[in-house]
Chains A and B, each alone.
Chain A
């Protein structure tokens, strides 16, 4: 799975290029993001605009990243497709992690 990256100020934006984050890619997905975290990036936006479906293993990755994140809101999400948004809504994990409609929103809120 490819993970595109760019910087917006000092915020690292990671964009997984995969229509589905399920058991087949979740370990790779997690490993790649952990690599970035270990490089010392403190503020990360996960742009999920390419991800149309996420199963529980994908959610598991986001949960464990949130748990290991250094402080609240050091990892946020943006551009969620409806099915992915629904997964976060039903599991109420949208109350634990910040979710934004656009990358601009995410970056603006992180800078506040």
Chain B
């Protein structure tokens, strides 16, 4: 560039400095915009990739959830097989039951088991917590109770077997299921009924007291027993005895029904539950439980209960001819 030209340019720049600044700014902006565009492009690509990965993950999660649901359904069927399957073969009693686990499987279990020709064993238990871990414990306990050696004992000087006393059964279970074993404890009631004479012997391990409603409407609570299973026989399991008369109804339950809470935070409670049982006491055991469930569901605005609900009712129909 000639000296003359430089001088001219300098003169021009000093005359119009803002034009140059604008030019430089424009060039910088151009460069910025290119940078922004490539950044945007990169971001879009990354986003698309992430979205694709998310969709894949979501699919695999849904598949896993589906498998889990199927497994739970299968587990629920297995658990249901441990509940009573039919009426006892004897016509001396009639039973009814309801089981509403708050998840698909629950921590409650109960059953009615024939012990020879003369007796039946009735039990119900409620494992702490709910869902799969509690349900696994119910399976383990039911299995334990299926061993004849637990529920039956040999009469001395005879080969004949007779029902083991309830306190002995609970004590054996307490030995078998210390809280440390599964990090679970449970409450349980165990009873032996002579289906001919109506003699009932029972003991409870910290379980809500079963209620006995006589044909005349008198109410008694079966309150004998000891404390929770799992704490290691801290106190003995006391036994109680009752004579059932034809028409008497015995109802066992877990705390899920009385602790059912509505949206105001109120509990359904024992009073409401017992009042309902009494109101329908003349009806067949099936109807009584049906009405109790209807009432608690109405109370809870038909919402899923927050704990497992189990009810088992036995009507003693006749004594020995």
Which residues of A are in contact with B by a Cβ distance under 8 Å? 23, 55-57, 59-60, 63-64, 66-67, 90-93, 95-96
B136 CB, nearest partner CB in chain A, Å: 16
Q: Can you name the residue of chain A whose Cβ is closest to the Cβ of B270?
A: A86
B89 within 8 Å of A (CB atoms): no
B208 within 8 Å of A (CB atoms): yes
For B232, list chain A residues within 8 Å (CB).
67
For B179, list chain A residues within 8 Å (CB).
60, 63-64, 67
Q: Contact at A63–B206, with CB atoms within 8 Å? A: no
For A91, list chain B residues within 8 Å (CB).
187, 206, 227-228
For A90, list chain B residues within 8 Å (CB).
206-209, 255
Which residues of B are in contact with A by a Cβ distance under 8 Å? 126, 128-129, 179-180, 184-185, 187, 206-209, 225-228, 230-232, 234-235, 255, 259, 307
Q: Can you name the residue of chain B whose Cβ is closest to the Cβ of A87?
A: B255
Q: Contact at B228–A63, with CB atoms within 8 Å? A: yes
B220 CB, nearest partner CB in chain A, Å: 16
B287 CB, nearest partner CB in chain A, Å: 27
Q: Can you name the residue of chain B whose Cβ is closest to the Cβ of A86?
A: B270
For B185, list chain A residues within 8 Å (CB).
60, 63
Of A23, A55, A63, which one neighbours B231 at CB under 8 angstroms? A63
In the bound complex, how far is the Cα of B313 from the Cα of A38, in angstroms? 47
For B180, list chain A residues within 8 Å (CB).
67
Q: Can you name the residue of chain A whose Cβ is closest to the Cβ of B230?
A: A63
Q: Contact at B227–A67, with CB atoms within 8 Å? A: no
Of B207, B208, B228, which one neighbours A93 at CB under 8 angstroms? B228
B72 CB, nearest partner CB in chain A, Å: 19
Q: Contact at A92–B206, with CB atoms within 8 Å? A: yes
Additional pairs, 13, CB under 8 Å, beyond known A64-B179, A92-B228: A55-B307, A56-B129, A57-B128, A60-B179, A60-B185, A63-B228, A66-B231, A67-B231, A90-B209, A90-B255, A92-B227, A93-B227, A95-B235
